[in-house]
Amino acid sequence: MAHFELQPAESELQQLAEQYWEKAGAREQQLEKAAFEAGAAIRGGDYSLVNLEVIVRWKSERMVHYLVGNSEAKIKRVLAIAASPETSVRDAVEALTSLRGIDLSIASAILAAIAPERYNVLDFRALEALGHARHDVEFYTEYVAFCKRLAERGIVEPQDELPGPTALHALDRALWEWSRSHVDQCLPV
């Protein structure tokens, strides 16, 4: 079970929340306002790609283009599950992450926009404030060493015709593709 330890003093939290909004630029403020408006629309039954896109844009502009890889029917089905007050956190997250372009952190933002009284956003900065580094250098060092050992075993070949023509980068591609295809295989039709 995860252990969370609040790093800032409780007495600082309200001021920090206000500072966050004050420091956000006009664009960031507009994106957040639009996201919560879209969340309210979803809560009201408008399970459209347009509303989903607005929320995803708020958290990760670069992930928006992946959304078009999902059918409108699937988006409607997933958003209906996520918006239902009877849906468990696990089921809501699993439904949302079955969509192309939605990972855990973006799913949490979608849920927070739809039901801000039930959910909050899982963000590396928030985790840091609760005593959890996203991943530190030691983690990355161990990850690289593990991947190098795999690549050195010759289980993947360098892809000489592609950028980063090394076995290690071919392994990166293989792991990424496995994750994507694994999610695609688990998607409800």
DSSP three-state, residue 20: helix
The angle subtended at Cα 68 by Cα 42 and Cα 30, nearest 5°, is 50
Q: How far apart are CA 10 and CA 15, in angstroms?
A: 10
121: its two tokens? 């956003």
Q: What band does 38 get if pLDDT is binned at 50, 70 and 90?
A: very high
Q: Supply the pTM of this predicted model.
A: 0.77
Give the pLDDT confidence of 64-101 residue by residue, as tens digits: 999 999 999 999 999 999 999 999 999 999 999 999 99
